[in-house]
Amino acid sequence: MKQYLDLLQNILDNGVEKKSGRENMPNTIGISKGIIEMNMSDGFPLLTTKKMYLKGIIHELLWFLRGDTNIKYLVDNNVNIWSGDAYRWYLKKFEFQDNLRESSLKPESTMEDFLTAVKNQDLCPIHDYEYGDLGKVYGYQWRNQNGVDQVRDVIEGLRDNPYSRYHIIDAWNKADFREMALPPCHLLYQFIVRPLSDEEKFKWIKNNTTLKDNIKVLGTRKPNQDFFDPYNVPKFYLDLNMYQRSCDSFLGIPFNIASMSLLLMIIAKVSNMIPGVSTWIGGDTHIYVDHLDAVKKQLSREPLTLPELKITKELNNLEDILALTIDDFQLDLYTHHDAIKAKLFTGLKK
């Protein structure tokens, strides 16, 4: 992942310091765009210059795909990346709420108390609100944006009209901003197909241990698609471009590029395609000034060989995707440097 380290260095060399547009957030040093291209044939883009928490990445993506917007599933699985945002959203709703179940009730005094209430599914003092709810964030937009299930739409579209340029999952729905704990950062995903050549299709067969002994040599005769179809050979590579408007370069980007690449793998598998190139495109690409020491420590390390990630379950439809669990993913050959800790800023008052 040298591209990622080059991006960090570019920010240090050419970035400018700016105030944050959100309350209770530190200043940033940033640039106005960033690009990282990841060819999935080179390995799974999980950062090696620090240890990454892959289970957290998988759990969050499954949470999105199921359309869930309550952090209970994440908290139950020891994933706390959304806990601060959920608590901040709860405090904001409590502050402006006039229909409390009892007027004398006060909000939980600490986030730990709040998370205990989330885990226990306690009855919230605010009418029409559940502890841990984030409003109409990613999962809602992905699965029910203005009544459209965008994940199902992409899967069906790739099967029915793979060359279409409409294979998009879009979370940027301004009409729902007031009902979101946080507007989406990674906001648009576009899936694009590239046809395999006959040579590439033969290579796929050769690398597939269940088929290579059964295939006959064709000699100089040029095959047509009818030859490949009985072997269920993929016809396309599937590429993914993702645009992210706001990019926490130390904590967020490594998580985001792994998550989007995993989504590419899932959609490719259910579509019988080969994961191609996963391209991350960043807008306001920044480093929090509080993260500078951590960034410099990471830049002192050499990247290691990328690991391999496999989805061990057969995926034939959206329902199979929704049934995925953490046990359906296998990470191999992951070597990495030690973890580097840094604070995740969510806008909570100090």
Would the pLDDT of 346 be above 80?
no
Which tens digit of pLDDT belongs to each residue from 20-78?
877 778 899 999 999 999 999 999 999 999 999 999 999 999 999 999 999 999 999 99
Amino acid at 18: K
The partner residues of 180 in beta bridges, in order of sequence, read 135
Among candidate residues 25, 100, 185, 292, the one labeled active-site is 185
Is 185 one of the catalytic residues?
A: yes
Would you state the pLDDT for residue 220? 45
**Residues 170, 242 contacting (CB under 8 angstroms):** no
Q: Please state whether beta strands 274-288 and 28-31 pair in parallel, antiparallel, or not at all (unpaired).
A: antiparallel
Would you state the pLDDT for residue 23? 78
Average the pLDDT over 322-344 and give the result: 96
Would you state the pLDDT for residue 124? 87
Average the pLDDT over 132-141 and give the result: 97
Q: How much of the chain exceeds pLDDT 70, in percent?
A: 91
Token reading at 315:
């995926």
Which tens digit of pLDDT belongs to each residue from 286-329?
999 999 999 999 999 999 999 999 999 999 999 999 999 999 99
- Report the candidate in 9, 2, 1, 17 with the shortest Cα–Cα distance to residue 284: 17
Which tens digit of pLDDT belongs to each residue from 182-233?
999 999 999 999 999 988 988 888 787 566 555 554 444 566 667 787 788 9
Would the pLDDT of 104 be above 70?
no
Would you state the pLDDT for residue 240? 98
| Global confidence as pTM | 0.93
Average the pLDDT over 165-175 and give the result: 98
Which tens digit of pLDDT belongs to each residue from 152-163?
999 999 999 999
Q: Give 48's contacts (C-beta < 8 A, 6+ positions apart).
A: 1, 303, 304, 305, 306, 307, 334, 335, 336, 337
Average the pLDDT over 256-260 and give the result: 98
